[in-house]
Amino acid sequence: MLQIKTPAQLEEFREGLLSKRDPNKPCITLCSGSACHASGSTEVAARLEEELKTQGLADQVDIRRTGCHGFCERGPIIVIHPDEICYFQVQPDDVAEIITETIKGKKIIERLLYTDPVVNEKIIHESRIPFYKNQERLVFGSNGSIDPKSIDDYLAIGGYSALSKALTAMTDLEVLGEVKKANLRGRGGAGFPAGIKWEGSRNAPEPIKYVIVNADEGDPGAYMDRALLEGNPHCILEGLIIGGYAVKANEGYFYVRQEYPLAVINILHAIKEAERYGLLGENILGSGFNFKVHVHQGAGAFVCGESTALMTSLEGKAGEPRPKYVRSNVKGLWERPSVLNNVETWANVPMIINKGADWFTSIGTESSKGTKIFSLVGKITNTGLVEVPMGTTLREIIFTIGGGIPGGRKFKAVQTGGPSGGCIPEDKLDLQVGFDELTKAGSMMGSGGMIAMDEDTCMVDVARYFIAFLTDESCGKCVPCREGLRQMHRILTNITQGKGKEGDIELLEELAETAVEASLCALGKSAPNPFLSTLKYFREEYEAHIREKRCPALSCKELINFYIDPEKCRACGTCRKQCPASAINGDKKIIHIIDQDKCTKCGTCFEVCPTKFGAVTKLSGVPVPPPLPEDQRTIKKKSKENE
Amino acid sequence: MSDIEFEIDGKKVTADKGMTVLEVARKEGIYIPTLCHHEKLEPFGACRVCIVEVESRGSTRLVVSCVYPAEKNIIVRTRSPKVDRIRKTIVELLMAHAPDAPQLLEMAAVYGAVPNRYEKDPSFCIHCGLCVRYCAEVAKKHALGFVDRGVHKEISFIPEIAAKECHACKACFPLCPTSYLQAVFVLTEALSFPDPAKTK
C-alpha cells in the first residue's frame, strides 16, 4: 500500500505520475456533473469507451470523466486534449463520428462547435468562447481537467502541495496569519473574514476543536458548491485539513445535503483515497499532525445551512438554530470551538497557501478579495456557473458572460444572494459585485445565486415566491419568522390575486421590521429582503396591483385577461384547436373570440398565435372589450375591402 | 460575588456571572414581558417578546433578555419605541391563533396591540414550548414533543408514554397559556388510550 510519509516523497510521487503521463496523448474529457448527467453524459461515456474499443484505439486515447465545466446550458460537453477542441450538446450518436473524424482524421466537426451568436462564427477552442474567456477560474478551473475520483489527477495538477507546504514549511500560526492577511471572506453568505473566525477558535481554551464544511447548499437555482464537491473534492478536503492544522483541530466534518448523492459519493471516495495515500490520518507527511474527517448527510432542511442549526443537526437533534449569544467558533459543535466555512471558502485555502496572501489580495475590490463563483440562472442565454474576480460588474456577468436575455426580451432585474437576497434593477447594473457593495444595494452576496429576470417577470410575484420558499423552510421556532412570514406570504398572495388593500404595504413593512430585528437566526432576519428590495426599486408595481388591480408585467394570472384583437385575427384556428379549456369560439374566416368565463389563463393561445398575426394580447387593469356582434365577425378579403 | 455591574432603565444593578439580563431584571423587580420563559427551564428564546435594547461600547442593538448574558457596563433599556413596536407585532401575530389568551390580552393592553389585525389560524398553539420542555427537562418523561417544521409545526403526545405517565402528572397543564395543550391531550387520550370508565 502506498503511503506518502514526507514532503519529498510527495514530490517524488508527483514527478513519477507526470513522467508517466504523455501530454501529447489524446485525451477526451467529458463533463459528468449532475447537470450533464441529466442531459445524457453517462450514455455518451459508455459509447465513447465502446467506440474506442471497436476502432482499436482503447490504449491510445484516454477518457476522463470530469466534474462540471460550468456551461450547463450546452451540456454534455466534450473537450479533446491536447488540441482543446470543444464540442457541445454531444449525444451518444455523435460519438462514432467524433472518434473517426476528430481523433483519427484530425478534422473538426462543425456541427458540434459553439457558435458565437454575435458574430455568428464557429469557435473551436474552449478558452476562446466568450462564456469562458471572460471568466477567471481560479477555484473552479481545475474541474474540467481532472477526474474527481482520481487522487492522482489532483496530484498531477499540484494537489496537496499546499498541505505539504503548510504542514512542514509553516507553523500553524503562520498558516493562520496568511489566511487572515488574505482577508478571505466567507463565501457562504455572511462574508465574515475566515481568518478571524479561525483565530477565535484557535484561541478558545477548550482543547478539542472542529473544522466543518458547510455543504448544505440550498438556495433555489444555486449549485456552485455542488459543482465543486462533485468535480474537485480533494481541493476542499485539502483546504479543510490546512484549516484544521491552523486552528489546532484534529477532526473535520462535511455536512452535505442529502439531495447531492454524487457529491457524497465523491467526497467519501476522496477521503478514502487521501487516507490511503497518507495525506489524511495520523502524522500527515511526517509533521506530527493528525486529522480525520467524517461525512454527515443533512435531512432536507434549508435552515441547516445556518451555522448553529447545522451544528445542532450534526449532534443528531432537530435542526433548529440556537438562541445563545455565543459565537459557534467559540462554543459550537458539542459546545466546542468549531470553525464552519462554506465549500467555496475552503476551496480557496490551498491556493492562498501556495501563492500567498499578497497575490490573493491583488485580486478583487478593497473589501472583497479573490474571485467568486456565481450560479447564473433564470432568463439568461448562457445558464451556468461563472467565476469572476470580485469587483466585476453585474453588467459584465449578465451580458458579456451570460449572453444577455434570450428571446429579444428586455432585462428587468437580477436577484442575487439566494431567497433572502434582493432584486437589483437595471440602473444598478454597473454595480461591482462584492460583499459590501451588494448589501448596500439592498441585496447580498449570499452564496452566489444570480437569477436574471426579464420584463415579463412581476416583482410582487417574485417577492411572494421567495417568501413562500422561506415560509416553508422556516424551522418554526421563533414567532417573528414563523408567524411573520406566514402573514407576509398571505398578504403578498392576496396582492398578486387582486385582493390587496390600502395599508398592505405598511403592514408588510411592519412585519418585515419585526422579522429583521427580532428573529432568532439569520434566516428570519434576512427573510424580508425579497419584499424590501422589490419595494425599494419597484414600488409602483405594488401600488398598481393594490390600487388598479393591474399587474404591469402582465404576469399575475388573477389580474390579466387574454384577448384576441379582432383587427389582427386572421381566423387561422391555431389557438382554438390548442385551447385546453375549449374557451375559444370561431371558425374558418370567422374572427375568434375568447370566452372569458371558460378561460383558465393558461396562456396557450398567446404562445401559439403566429408571430405574423400577433393577435392574442394580455390585458391588465382594463376591462376586456365586448366581443364583436356575431354578424360582424366574418373576415372579408382585404382586397375586396379596398375596392 | 455580585461582580457584574450594569444598568437597566437607569437603575444600577448587579449580577453574578452566568445570569441573564432577564434574571437580573426579575431580581430587581423590573418588568420585562415573557411568554416562553420559565424559571425551571433552559432559556428557549422563541417568543422574542422579552426583547430589549442593549447599549455596549457606544453601539445599540436589540437582544432577547432571556438569553443575553449580563455584562459589565452595558446599558439596558426595557422599552423604546422600536421595542414596543416589535412586542405589539408579536402579540398581534399570536392573537391570530389565541385571541383570548389572558397573557396576550394583558400584553395587548400594554403595547396597544390590535386583535384581528391578521388573518386567523385554526390552531391556538403559540409554540412557547413550555409543555414540551417541562416534560423533558423537569418531569423527564418526554411524553410530548414538537413535530413537523415551520408553519406546520405542532405539539404532539407520544401515546405510548402519555398513556403511562400523564394521568399521574399533568404538571404541564397549568403552564399552557392558551389551553391548547389540554385539547391535544384530550384528543390523544380519546384516540389512543381511552379511559375504560368513560367509554362504557
DSSP letters for B121-159: -S-------HHHHHHHHTS----EEEES-GGG-EEEE-H
Q: What is the nearest CA distance from B93 to chain A, expressed in angstroms?
A: 6
Q: Which of residues 47-66 of B touch A (CB under 8 A)?
A: 47-49, 51, 62-64
State residue B2's pLDDT score.
64
- B90/A518 touch (CB, cutoff 8 Å), yes or no: yes
By CB atoms closer than 10 A (0-12, 13-18, 19+), residue B17 is exposed
Neighbours of A228 (CB within 10 A): 29
What is the interface pTM, i.e. ipTM, of the complex? 0.96
Residue A1 in this model has a pLDDT that exceeds 80: no
Residue A311 in this model has a pLDDT that exceeds 80: yes
Taking any CB pair shorter than 8 Å as contact, residues of chain A touching chain B are 301, 318, 323-325, 471-480, 482-487, 490, 507, 510-511, 513-514, 517-520
Summarize pLDDT for A422-454 with one digit per residue, the tens. 999 999 999 999 999 999 988 899 889 999 999
- A471/B127 touch (CB, cutoff 8 Å), yes or no: no
Residue A643 in this model has a pLDDT that exceeds 50: no
DSSP characters for B171-198? TTGGG-SSSHHHHHHHHHHHHHS--HHH
Is this model's pTM higher than 0.90 or not? yes
- A325/B119 touch (CB, cutoff 8 Å), yes or no: no
Residue A482 in this model has a pLDDT that exceeds 90: yes
- A519/B48 touch (CB, cutoff 8 Å), yes or no: yes
Reported as a pLDDT band with limits 50, 70 and 90, residue A419 is confident
State residue A641's pLDDT score.
45
Q: What is the nearest CA distance from B196 to chain A, expressed in angstroms?
A: 36
Residues in chain A with CB shorter than 8 Å from the CB of B48 are 478-480, 518-520
Residue A73 in this model has a pLDDT that exceeds 60: yes
DSSP characters for A174-203? HHHHHHHHHTPBPTTTT--BHHHHHHHHHH
Phi, psi dihedrals of residue A323, rounded to the nearest 5° = -85, -5
Q: Does B19 touch chain A (CB under 8 A)?
A: no
- A483/B64 touch (CB, cutoff 8 Å), yes or no: no
What stretches of A443-518 adopt beta strand conformation (E)?
A: 449-454
What are the grid coordinates assigned to B171, written together? 404538571
What are the grid coordinates assigned to B152, written together? 406546520
End-to-end Cα spacing for chain B: 62
State residue A117's pLDDT score.
85
- B48/A520 touch (CB, cutoff 8 Å), yes or no: yes
- A478/B51 touch (CB, cutoff 8 Å), yes or no: no
Phi-psi region of B42 (alpha: psi -120 to 50; beta: other; left: phi over 0): beta
DSSP conformational letter for A423: E
- A323/B152 touch (CB, cutoff 8 Å), yes or no: no
Residues in chain A with CB shorter than 8 Å from the CB of B51 are 517-518
Q: What is the nearest CA distance from B25 to chain A, expressed in angstroms?
A: 18
Summarize pLDDT for A99-149 with one digit per residue, the tens. 999 999 999 999 999 998 888 899 999 889 999 999 999 999 999 889 999
For a pLDDT cut of 70, what percent of chain A falls above it?
Answer: 99
Phi-psi region of A64 (alpha: psi -120 to 50; beta: other; left: phi over 0): beta
Residues in chain B with CB shorter than 8 Å from the CB of A474 are 149-151
Kindly provide the b/e burial profile for residues A292-312, where b requires at least 16 CB atoms within 10 angstroms of the residue's own CB: ebebbbbeebbbbbbbbbbbb
Residues in chain B with CB shorter than 8 Å from the CB of A514 are 85-86, 89-90, 93
Question: Among candidates A619, A611, A613, which has minimal Cα distance to A594?
Answer: A619
State residue A640's pLDDT score.
45
- B94/A518 touch (CB, cutoff 8 Å), yes or no: no
DSSP conformational letter for A335: G
Distance, in Å, from the CA atom of B96 to the CA atom of B48, rounded to the nearest integer, reads: 17
Q: What is the nearest CA distance from B89 to chain A, expressed in angstroms?
A: 7
Torsion sign, CA atoms B142, B143, B148, B152: negative
Chain-wide mean pLDDT for chain B? 94
Q: What is the nearest CA distance from B60 to chain A, expressed in angstroms?
A: 12
- Mean pLDDT within B118-133: 94
Helix then strand then coil, in percent of chain B rounded to 5, is 35, 20, 45
Q: Does B153 touch chain A (CB under 8 A)?
A: yes
